[in-house]
């Protein structure tokens, strides 16, 4: 009788990697080995038994039936069969990273929260970014709201700030959330569309629910197609409270501002990326952290004194309203830096469980009816998603403080509680664990003792009734190109709506109340008559414009972490590439050299130049700018290469900076392109500054009307 020998041997147990990793560089390999916790470990069953053969099921003879007694095979397959857990109902597609939060100062006048007191202290955080509509495998760059959820592991317990990249929300009352989500999710009969809102049920709902108008215009703006997760603002959305040690409460709105600036993709680019690189945002986050370009945000609050609660022309409790920064500026509190990628996506990003109800002393809720509903929903959803009420014991969710209470048992309990008293008060275990008093010394949580004297009713406050003035404020605050993008987005999305009655309702009953010119332009694109008046009286807001809302005012002014594609072929001028790389590095930016294939090219002076990828492998949509170095032979080859020509045209169409050097300017003739503020034809070593200045502008907006005619 012959049995096939197992293929694993002793030398492999010592950590030798037998996988063919192709071109993977040495740095990555060493990283993988560093991260593995199985190095020099034998393969074992879950019961700890060493496995001698992981290739063959136990059978009756080499050609015979498999035997039920093969506990090794059964254990492995059973576990595999149950590997998937339910994805999140919303925000299913996401990615995350670890980092820290550091306070700038002691903010004791505002709050007693410990993590905001000591500037020398680093509080660990875990952040999960997400889209809302699409399932787990959906595209990163679809038009959607982005989740921005931060778990602070503070010395006083976990604080979860579960926000979005837009400062308002679609609805005012939590009871409408299932309706809204059912409307935006793929339609029930055919599960289309994945990852977007351009369909009948979404527009049906929002056109019937005017309180959504403000959030929908944000979702139709460039904010819904962020350039990267690192270039998004984050917002806590609801009004919260901060309480200081004297018990004084202030209302606050939470803000995250990225230090690299806030900017977006253009629509054509976002759509192409969704196909060419579904993982574009998660890859960018991952690679930035691996490269040491640690994403950073400033954390700040808008503070409103308790006595000023009613001084605005909107209600602080209404989550469809912002407090314009021109009325209440942001007070910076500290910074957050993301500097470590997860080791295991499932264990960390998938199993992390956020809840707006996770707060610490010094922070409290407001009566925003959306927030109040969320306080219930998140824990409830984790019970089915993570299989029971013990999800706080999963490593990624565990508080860094000790946790002792009388809660016991239930599915997946991992703590081995000792002692006999799982109740309080007790005398058997000496009375432990005991309550702590509120106050700085003991630190027990105390809710803000807000006085409530009211009827128990189902009624929305009159102060929540204006749905349009802030949507108008948003539109009026946009730059000209941002307004054009909003018109284009409404036209695109409503163009996908099959029922004319829904299109017309959105135009006449929503857009006409926001802005007649906006409504008219969208109506024209849909072939509908332009409305001549709105349907409601919209109050005049105290502010006509809020410049802080326009991304045109939110750039960083530098080119840190920006990526430049360098297009090369045989005969390229190698010296200018070295000079460019050096200059980019000095500015904290990066270059990748792309050839016709992934094979190295030969420079004009006969040297071998390694390329990072082929032009097809890393298309222009993956970069912020394109540089074409001179070299007669190289330019001759590139001008005959459709992929290279398309590369430059596409970058032009997406309004990116293009630097041409030496003979590369000849490309302009064939491509019929004209020099502009971002298309620089003498980008030699002395002219990099103009090229870099164009990159810092993020896009050449003045080119946009012209670029529309470019067939890329
Ligand atoms: Fe959520 N939301 N939400 N949401 N939400 C969830 O919780 C819910 C709302 C937000 O990366 C769910 O663990 C209700 C506003 C983020 O894990 C669920 C209401 C804001 C994430 C849930 C809202 C958010 C979620 C699904 C209306 C911005 C992803 C899975 C009252 C301030 C967190 C889960 C992560 C996830 C309920 C409205 C942000 C079902 C009932 C407003 C970033 O519990």
Provide the percentage of residues in the chain whose pLDDT is more than 70. Answer: 95
Decide whether any atom of ligand 1 lies within 6 Å of the 161 Cβ.
no
- Minimum mean pLDDT range among 426-440, 525-539, 581-595, 601-615: 426-440
Decide whether any atom of ligand 1 lies within 6 Å of the 379 Cβ.
no
Q: Is the confidence at residue 25, as pLDDT, over 80?
A: no
The pLDDT, as a whole number, for residue 32 is: 56
Backbone φ, ψ for residue 641 (5° rounding): -105, 110
pTM of the model: 0.94
Is the Cα torsion angle 141, 142, 143, 148 positive or negative in sign? negative
Decide whether any atom of ligand 1 lies within 6 Å of the 146 Cβ.
no
Mean pLDDT on 290-309: 97
Provide the percentage of residues in the chain whose pLDDT is more than 90. Answer: 91
Ligand 1 atom closest to the Cα of residue 147 is: 43
Q: Which residue's CA is the nearest one to ligand 1's atom 9?
A: 374
598, 618 contact by CB (below 8 A): no
Ligand 1 atom closest to the Cα of residue 352 is: 17
The pLDDT, as a whole number, for residue 542 is: 86
CA–CA dist 401, 601 (Å, integer): 57
3-class secondary-structure state, position 212: helix
314, 75 contact by CB (below 8 A): no
Q: Which residue's CA is the nearest one to ligand 1's atom 23?
A: 374
Ligand 1 atom closest to the Cα of residue 171 is: 27
Mean pLDDT on 471-486: 98
Angle, alpha carbons 16-20-25 (nearest 5°): 85
Q: Cα(first)–Cα(last) distance of the chain, in Å?
A: 66
Sequence-separated (6 or more) residues with CB below 8 Å from residue 209: 170, 171, 176, 180
688, 627 contact by CB (below 8 A): no
Q: Which residue's CA is the nearest one to ligand 1's atom 20?
A: 163
CA-based R_g, the chain, Å? 29
DSSP single-letter state for residue 517: H
Q: Is the confidence at residue 225, as pLDDT, over 90?
A: yes
Backbone φ, ψ for residue 14 (5° rounding): -75, 5
The pLDDT, as a whole number, for residue 19 is: 30
Q: Is the confidence at residue 22, as pLDDT, over 80?
A: no
Ligand 1: distance of its center to the CA of 89 in Å?
Answer: 9
Reported as a single tens digit per residue, the pLDDT across 124-133 is: 999 999 999 9
Decide whether any atom of ligand 1 lies within 6 Å of the 378 Cβ.
yes
Ligand 1: distance of its center to the CA of 178 in Å?
Answer: 11
Which of 561, 591, 711 is CA-nearest to residue 648? 711
Tokens encoding 690? 């103009």
Helix (H) or strand (E) holding 258: strand 249-258
Q: Which residues are catalytic?
A: 91, 164
Decide whether any atom of ligand 1 lies within 6 Å of the 128 Cβ.
yes
Buried b (16+ CB within 10 A) or exposed e, 362-381: bbbbbebbbbbbbeebbeeb
218, 342 contact by CB (below 8 A): no
**What angle in degrees, to the nearest 10, is found between the helix axes of 516-526 and 480-495?**
40
Q: Which residue has the tokens 């009613």?
A: 310
625, 657 contact by CB (below 8 A): yes
Decide whether any atom of ligand 1 lies within 6 Å of the 356 Cβ.
no
CA–CA dist 652, 620 (Å, integer): 10
Angle, alpha carbons 311-215-317 (nearest 5°): 30
Q: Which residue's CA is the nearest one to ligand 1's atom 22?
A: 378
Pairing of strands 122-131, 146-154: antiparallel
pLDDT band at residue 5 using 50, 70 and 90 as cut-offs: very low
Ligand 1: distance of its center to the CA of 377 in Å?
Answer: 8
Decide whether any atom of ligand 1 lies within 6 Å of the 383 Cβ.
no
Which of 351, 422, 419 is CA-nearest to residue 128? 351
Q: Is the confidence at residue 27, as pLDDT, over 60?
A: no
Which of 649, 20, 96 is CA-nearest to residue 350? 96
Question: Starting at the edge strand that comes first in sequence, how are the strands of the sheet with 563-567 ordered?
Answer: 613-614, 590-595, 563-567, 625-628, 657-660, 679-680
Ligand 1: distance of its center to the CA of 353 in Å?
Answer: 11
Decide whether any atom of ligand 1 lies within 6 Å of the 181 Cβ.
no
Ligand 1: distance of its center to the CA of 381 in Å?
Answer: 10
Pairing of strands 563-567, 625-628: parallel
Q: Is the confidence at residue 669, as pLDDT, over 80?
A: yes
DSSP single-letter state for residue 391: G
pLDDT band at residue 643 using 50, 70 and 90 as cut-offs: very high
Report residue 181 CA to chain centroid gap: 19
627, 593 contact by CB (below 8 A): no
3-class secondary-structure state, position 343: coil
Reported as a single tens digit per residue, the pLDDT across 197-223 is: 999 999 999 999 999 999 999 999 999
Mean pLDDT on 178-197: 97
Reported as a single tens digit per residue, the pLDDT across 48-69 is: 999 999 999 999 999 999 999 9
Average model confidence (pLDDT) across the chain: 94
94, 151, 158, 162: residue to mutate for ligand 1 pocket, most atoms within 8 A of CB:
162
210, 513 contact by CB (below 8 A): yes
Residue 629: left (phi > 0), alpha (psi -120 to 50), or beta?
beta
CA–CA dist 112, 124 (Å, integer): 18
pLDDT band at residue 14 using 50, 70 and 90 as cut-offs: very low
Q: List, as one string, the DSSP characters of 632-661.
A: HHHHHHHHT-HHHHHHHHHHHHTT-EEEE-
Buried b (16+ CB within 10 A) or exposed e, 165-174: bbbbbbbbbb
Decide whether any atom of ligand 1 lies within 6 Å of the 149 Cβ.
yes
The pLDDT, as a whole number, for residue 70 is: 97
Reported as a single tens digit per residue, the pLDDT across 68-118 is: 999 999 999 999 999 999 999 999 999 999 999 999 999 999 999 999 999
The pLDDT, as a whole number, for residue 20 is: 32
Ligand 1: distance of its center to the CA of 444 in Å?
Answer: 27
Is the Cα torsion angle 576, 582, 588, 591 positive or negative in sign? positive
Decide whether any atom of ligand 1 lies within 6 Å of the 150 Cβ.
no
The pLDDT, as a whole number, for residue 13 is: 46
């Amino acid at each position: 009788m012959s049995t096939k020998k197992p293929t694993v041997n002793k030398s492999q147990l010592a950590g030798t990697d037998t996988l063919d990793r192709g071109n993977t560089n040495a740095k990555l390999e060493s990283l993988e080995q560093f991260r593995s916790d199985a190095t020099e470990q034998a393969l074992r069953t879950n019961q700890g038994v060493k496995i001698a053969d992981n290739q063959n099921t136990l059978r009756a003879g080499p050609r015979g039936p498999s035997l039920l007694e093969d506990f090794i095979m059964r254990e492995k397959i059973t576990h595999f069969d149950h590997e998937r857990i339910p994805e999140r109902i919303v925000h299913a597609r996401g990615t995350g990273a670890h980092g820290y939060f550091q306070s700038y100062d002691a903010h004791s006048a505002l709050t007693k929260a410990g993590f905001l007191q000591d500037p020398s202290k680093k509080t660990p955080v875990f952040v999960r970014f997400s889209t809302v509509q699409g399932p787990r495998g959906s595209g990163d760059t679809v038009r959607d709201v982005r989740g921005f959820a931060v778990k602070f592991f503070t010395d006083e317990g976990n604080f979860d700030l579960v926000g979005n990249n837009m400062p308002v929300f679609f609805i005012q009352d939590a009871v409408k959330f299932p309706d809204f989500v059912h409307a935006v999710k793929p339609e029930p009969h055919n599960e289309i569309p994945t990852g977007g809102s351009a369909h009948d049920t979404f527009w049906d709902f929002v056109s019937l629910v005017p309180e959504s108008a403000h959030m929908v215009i944000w979702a139709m703006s460039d904010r819904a197609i962020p350039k990267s997760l690192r270039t998004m603002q984050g917002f806590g959305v609801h009004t919260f409270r901060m309480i200081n040690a004297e018990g004084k409460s202030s209302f606050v709105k939470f803000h995250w501002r990225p230090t690299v600036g806030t900017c977006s993709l253009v629509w054509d680019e976002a759509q192409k990326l969704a196909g060419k690189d579904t993982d574009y945002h998660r890859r960018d986050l991952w690679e930035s952290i691996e490269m040491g370009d640690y994403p950073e945000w400033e954390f700040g609050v808008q503070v409103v004194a308790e006595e000023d609660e009613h001084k605005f022309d909107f209600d602080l409790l209404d989550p469809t309203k912002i407090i314009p920064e021109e009325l209440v500026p942001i007070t910076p509190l500290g910074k957050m830096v993301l500097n470590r990628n997860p080791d295991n996506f499932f264990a960390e990003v998938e199993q992390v469980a956020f809840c707006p109800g996770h707060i610490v002393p010094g922070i409290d809720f407001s009566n925003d009816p959306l927030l109040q509903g969320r306080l219930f929903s998140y824990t409830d959803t984790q019970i089915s998603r993570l299989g029971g009420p013990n999800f706080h014991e999963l490593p990624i969710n565990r508080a860094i403080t000790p946790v002792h209470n009388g809660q016991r048992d239930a599915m997946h309990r991992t703590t081995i509680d000792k002692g006999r008293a799982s109740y309080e008060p007790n005398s058997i275990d000496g009375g432990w664990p005991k309550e702590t008093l509120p106050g700085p010394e003991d630190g027990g949580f105390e809710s803000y003792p807000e006085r409530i004297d009211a009827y128990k009713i189902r009624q929305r406050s009159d102060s929540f009734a204006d749905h349009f003035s802030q949507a108008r404020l948003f539109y009026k605050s946009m730059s000209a190109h941002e307004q054009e993008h909003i018109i284009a987005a409404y036209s695109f999305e409503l163009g996908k709506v099959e029922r004319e009655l829904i299109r017309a309702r959105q135009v006449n009953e929503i857009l006409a109340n926001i802005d007649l010119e906006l409504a008219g332009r969208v109506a024209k694109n849909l072939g509908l008559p332009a409305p001549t008046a709105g349907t409601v009286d919209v109050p005049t807001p105290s502010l006509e414009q809020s410049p802080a809302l326009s991304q045109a005012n939110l750039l960083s002014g530098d080119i840190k972490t920006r990526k430049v594609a360098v297009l090369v072929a045989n005969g390229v001028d190698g010296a200018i590439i070295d000079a460019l790389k050096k200059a980019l590095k000095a500015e904290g930016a990066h270059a990748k050299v792309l050839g016709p294939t992934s094979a190295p090219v030969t420079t004009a002076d006969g040297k071998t130049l390694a390329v990072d990828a082929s032009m097809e492998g890393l298309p222009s949509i993956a970069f912020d700018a394109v540089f074409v170095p001179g070299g007669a032979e190289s330019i001759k080859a590139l001008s005959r290469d459709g992929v290279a020509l398309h590369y430059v045209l596409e970058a032009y169409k997406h309004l990116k900076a293009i630097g041409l050097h030496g003979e590369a300017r000849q490309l302009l003739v064939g491509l019929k392109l004209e020099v502009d503020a971002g298309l620089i034809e003498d980008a030699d070593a002395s002219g990099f500054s103009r090229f870099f200045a164009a990159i810092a502008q993020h896009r050449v907006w003045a080119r946009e009307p012209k670029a529309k005619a470019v067939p890329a």
